[in-house]
């Protein structure tokens, strides 16, 4: 008698799984870098080709690294939020991903440069090391240079107020301990 009930019980389990699945996003790829030191790089600055930049330039402070490109429409929509972050005292560094130097400089001049510094990554090699698969993407680094969070896609009101700023505050508090 009992074995006839097996199918319906198994099916109930399947339904539960699918119900949970409806809340998840299968396209989102989490970053394996979280909890690990940010990948090192040394590349030229966007504005000054002779100047080399590296993670040391973050000076041991909690910072954001924003990956963008001038050909990316969402980055354009996101930039006001980047500027807002800068205005609120959060240092944001930029990685200009697979772009042309002239286009990128123009873009920043038009929209207003909010980055402390921007590194030029024309072939996407730095992006590859950081696990970038689309722009824009934003990484939150703590005072020790460890990646603590990756935000995929453009930053908006909600992610600014509910996700990024609280995290920055927490990381800063951690650093002072």
Partner 1 sequence: MTPARTLRTALAALALAWAAAAMAAGTTYYRFDNARQQARYDRLTEELRCLVCQGESIADSHADLAKDLRDQVHEMVAAGKTDRQVIDFMVDRYGNFILYRPPVEPATWLLWGGPFLLLCLAAAVALARARRSRVEPVRALDEEERRRLGDALSRHHGRQGRS
Partner 2 sequence: MIPEAGHFALILALTMALAQAGFALCGAWRGRVRWMQVADSAVTGQLFFVTVAFGVLAWSFYSNDFSVAYVAENSNSHLPWFYRLAAVWGAHEGSLLLWVLILCVWTMAVELFSSELPEAFRARVLGVMGIVSAAFLLFMLATSNPFTRLFPAPMEGRDLNPLLQDFGLIAHPPMLYMGYVGFSVAFSFAVAALLGGRLDAAWARWSRPWTLAAWTFLTVGIAMGSWWAYYELGWGGWWFWDPVENASFMPWLAGTALIHSLAVTEKRGVLKSWTVLLAIFAFSLSLLGTFIVRSGVLNSVHAFATDPQRGVFVLVLLALVVGGSLAVYAWRAPLIRSRGRFDLLSRETMLLFNNAMLAVAAVTVLLGTLYPLIVDAMGLGKISVGSPYYNMVFVPIMVPLLVLAGIGPMVRWKVQGAGALARKLRAALLASGVAAVVALWWIVNTSPEAVLGLTLAVWIAWTSLQGVFERLRHKSRPVRALRQIPRGFWGMTLAHLGIAVFVAGVTVVSTFGVKSDLRMAPGDSFDAAGYTWRFGGVHPVEGPNYTAQEGSVTVLRDSTVVARLRPQKRTYLVQRNPTTEAGIEAGVFRDLYVSLGERLPGDGAWSLRVQYKPLVRWIWFGALMMAVGGALGATDPRYRKLLARERAAADGRGEVTV
Q: Which residues bind partner 2 (CB under 8 A)?
A: 1, 4-5, 7-8, 11-12, 14-15, 17-24, 26-30
* Region for residue 111 given its phi and psi (left: phi exceeds 0; alpha: psi -120 to 50; beta: otherwise): alpha
Using alpha carbons, select from 56, 174, 127 the residue that is nearest to residue 138.
Answer: 127
Rounded Cα distance, 47 and 86, in Å:
18
- How many residues of this chain interact with partner 1, rule: CB under 8 A? 16
Q: Which does 22 bind (CB under 5 to 8 A by kind): partner 1, partner 2, none?
A: partner 2
Whole-angstrom CA distances from 97 to 9, 32, 57, 69, 124 are: 51, 20, 19, 5, 6
Q: Is the omega angle on the peptide bond into residue 136 within 30 degrees of 0, that is, cis? A: yes
Q: Does 2 bind partner 1 (CB under 8 A)?
A: no
Q: Does 160 bind partner 1 (CB under 8 A)?
A: no
The least CB distance from residue 8 to partner 1, in Å, is 18
State the DSSP string of 24-62.
S-TT----TTTTSBPPP-EEEBSS-TT-EEEGGGGTT--
> Binding residue for partner 1 (CB under 8 A) from 122, 124, 145, 153?
124
The least CB distance from residue 9 to partner 2, in Å, is 9
Q: Which does 18 bind (CB under 5 to 8 A by kind): partner 1, partner 2, none?
A: partner 2
Closer CB to partner 1, 31 or 113, in the complex: 31
- Interacting residues toward partner 1 by CB under 8 A: 27, 29-33, 39, 98, 123-124, 128-131, 133-134
């Amino acid at each position: 008698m009992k074995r006839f009930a097996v199918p319906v019980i198994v099916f109930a389990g399947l339904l539960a799984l699918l119900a949970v699945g409806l809340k998840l996003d299968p396209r989102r790829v989490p970053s394996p870098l979280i909890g690990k030191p940010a990948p090192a790089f040394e590349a030229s600055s966007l504005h000054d080709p002779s100047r080399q930049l590296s993670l040391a330039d973050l000076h041991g402070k909690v910072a954001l690294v924003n990956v963008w490109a001038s050909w990316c429409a969402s980055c354009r929509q996101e930039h006001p939020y980047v500027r807002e972050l800068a205005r609120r005292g959060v240092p944001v560094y930029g990685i200009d991903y697979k772009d042309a130097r002239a286009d990128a400089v123009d873009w920043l001049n038009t929209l207003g440069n909010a980055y402390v510094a921007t590194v030029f990554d024309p072939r996407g090699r730095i992006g590859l090391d950081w696990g970038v698969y689309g722009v824009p993407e934003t990484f939150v680094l703590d005072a020790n240079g460890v990646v603590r969070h990756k935000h995929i896609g453009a930053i908006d009101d909600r992610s600014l107020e509910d996700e990024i700023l609280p995290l920055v505050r927490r990381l800063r508090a951690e650093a002072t301990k």
